[in-house]
Structure 1
Amino acid sequence: MDLRIGIQNSPRELAFETSQTAAEVEQAVAAALSGQAPVLRLTDAKGTVYVVPAAALAYVEIGTEEARRIGFVG
């Protein structure tokens, strides 16, 4: 699934693919925004860990869990 995370006062966004489900990502974001966790911690498909302070989150865009198609569309 594709994720895009906007960070306050930063002109760039974090964009990466993760193997986590949409429900897992949504739960982590909700915990960070409610104050249960001081940071949003997510792992991409290659194992890289991203840690963003909860206070700096501007938005989190959760993409679809659909697998990419390979080949020609007929």
Structure 2
Amino acid sequence: MEIKIGVRSVHRELIVETDLTADQVEEEIRNALSVDRGVFAITDVKGRRVIVPVTALGFLEIGEDESRPVGFGGTL
């Protein structure tokens, strides 16, 4: 699943590909927002960790749970 993270005062968003479901990502962000001066941390599919202070979060866009097929989807 693809997650786009908007960080305040940064012109480009962070794009993270993760194995988590949409519900799991939402739970992680809710937990981070509930802690005073917390951080939102997520691990991508390659094992890299992305950590953003919740005070710097502008937005979080959660992609689709289902993976899309690659290539042309037409029939022959």
TM-score for the superposition, normalised by structure 1:
0.89
Q: For residue 63 of structure 2, what is the aligned residue in structure 1?
A: 63
Unaligned runs of 5+ in 2: none
Unaligned runs of 5+ in 1: none
Q: Secondary structure of the equivalent of 2:32? A: helix
Aligned pairs, how many?
74
Structure 1 stretches (4+) deviating beyond 2 angstroms?
34-37
Letter in structure 2 aligned against 1:18: T
Structure 1 residue 64, shift from structure 2 partner: 0.1
The percentage of aligned residue pairs carrying the same residue is 43
Q: For residue 26 of structure 2, what is the aligned residue in structure 1?
A: 26
Root mean square deviation, CA, Å: 1.5
TM-score for the superposition, normalised by structure 2:
0.87
